C-alpha cells in the first residue's frame, strides 16, 4: 500500500511550480488530490495528474475569498469524503522598490500570502476536527521571511506572517 492511499490532499497554488511538484509526489503515493489556483489552467494540471491514474480535481479558487475557500473544501469532502492534508502554497510576489510599491500591490500580497493561508488552515482544521481522524497542515514559506531580499519587503513580510 502507498503511504497516502485513501487520503485526500488539498494543494493551493497546485497547478504549477512547487505546488504541482508536491501534488505529483502525493499522487505517486496514492493520494486523492484537489488542486486549486486562481488560474483557469488548473483544470489542465488536474488532467495531467488523472492521465497518470490519480484521482484529481482542479478548482479555480481565490484563497482570499472565504466563500471560495469554503466551497473548495466542500468540494474536496463531497468528491473524496474527507480532507486529510492541506497544503497552503498559493502565493504571489511583485518586484518593486519600497518607494514605488503601490498600496494595492502590498494589500494583494498580504491577502494571498497571509490571509489565504489563514482562511485555508481554518477551513481545513474544521473539516479535520469534524472527522476526528487527525490531519496535517503544510504552509509553504520562504527564506525571504528570515533574510529578506531587495525589492520584495512586502513579500518577506507576508511570508513571515
158: helix, coil or strand?
helix
Is residue 73 part of the annotated active site? The answer reads no
123: helix, coil or strand?
helix
Give the side-chain half-sphere CA count within 13 A for 107: 3
11: helix, coil or strand?
strand
From residue 11, give the alpha-carbon distance in Å to each of 15, 31, 63, 101, 149.
9, 12, 11, 29, 26
**Cα separation, 33 vs 86, whole angstroms:** 10
The active-site residue out of 35, 155, 156, 159 is: 155
Within 8 A by CB and 6+ apart from 55, the residues are 32, 33, 80
Q: Which residues are tagged catalytic? A: 155
Amino acid at each position: 500500500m502507498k503511504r497516502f492511499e485513501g487520503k485526500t490532499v488539498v494543494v493551493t497554488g497546485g497547478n504549477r511550480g512547487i505546488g504541482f511538484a508536491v501534488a505529483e509526489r502525493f499522487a505517486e503515493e496514492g493520494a486523492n488530490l484537489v488542486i486549486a489556483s486562481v488560474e483557469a489552467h488548473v483544470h489542465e494540471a488536474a488532467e495531467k495528474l488523472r492521465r497518470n491514474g490519480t484521482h484529481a480535481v482542479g478548482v479555480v479558487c481565490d484563497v482570499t475569498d472565504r466563500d471560495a475557500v469554503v466551497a473548495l473544501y466542500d468540494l474536496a469532502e463531497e468528491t473524496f469524503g474527507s480532507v486529510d492534508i492541506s497544503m497552503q502554497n498559493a502565493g504571489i510576489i511583485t518586484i518593486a522598490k519600497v518607494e514605488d510599491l503601490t498600496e494595492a500591490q502590498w494589500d494583494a500580497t498580504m491577502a494571498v500570502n497571509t490571509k489565504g493561508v489563514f482562511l485555508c488552515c481554518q477551513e481545513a482544521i474544521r473539516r479535520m476536527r469534524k472527522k476526528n481522524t487527525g490531519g496535517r497542515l503544510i504552509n509553504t514559506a520562504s527564506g525571504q521571511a528570515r533574510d529578506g531580499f531587495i525589492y520584495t519587503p512586502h513579500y518577506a513580510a507576508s511570508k513571515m506572517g
